[in-house]
Structure formats: C-alpha cells, structure tokens
Amino acid sequence: MTEKQEGKIDQTMANEAKKKTETLGDFKEIEAVDLHGRLIVAIQLKQWDKWKRDSIEKRVKKRLKEEMKVDHLYVSSDYKIFIETKKLANHLERQSVSRNEAEEAFQAIVVLMSRK
C-alpha cells in the first residue's frame, strides 16, 4: 500500500485554527495546514487592512498560541504564502499527495516565509 492510500492526513487542528482565526477579524479568506504538530495559518486581508499587516499577524499568532497546542505556529498574510498554503490544503483534502510530498511542500512554504 502506498502512502497516498494510507489515508487522509488529519487536518482537524487546521480546521479548528481557521475557525478561531475567523473570530479575530474580518478576513477575505483563511487557509490552514497542520502537519505533525506544525501549523501554517495563511490569511488574506481586506484591502484597507494591509496597512496593519504586522499587527494583525502578531495578534492572530498570539491568540492561536494561547489556545492551541502546536509545536510550531506560522502565521502569514503574504499572498504567495496564502496561495501555496491553499494549494497544499486542497491536495491534502483530495488525498492527492503523499506524506513525503506534503512534508516537502510544507517545508517549502516555511522557507518562503523566512525570506519575507
């Protein structure tokens, strides 16, 4: 049995993070991906909120850290990060990616975030 057939990678924590993030502001869209206790939350801000990007990211990260038990938490409102996170979340939902491929994509997003 291949890794793709082993089953869905659990995204319960990612879904919970999306719900909690929704309560913190009026965002266009929110995506989240959880892999092995590491969580990426990507938010798409409304036009006027982009001026307050850093403070919004800090507020979301602080609240999620308080309320969720994750080893590593990454929060970004960068559009490229949002697109890549959404792409990975869709692959995970459709089970069209192996665990190794998901891990590589997750790590690539983290690298992109560090270059910001």
The pLDDT of residue 1 is 31
Token pair 């949002």 in the structure block, residue: 82
The pLDDT of residue 49 is 78
The pLDDT of residue 3 is 41
Successive 10-residue mean pLDDT values, the chain, 116 residues: 57 94 92 94 88 91 93 95 96 92 96 87
Supply the pTM of this predicted model: 0.87
The pLDDT of residue 7 is 65
The pLDDT of residue 4 is 43
- Between CA 22 and CA 54, with CA 29 as vertex, the angle to 5 degrees is 75
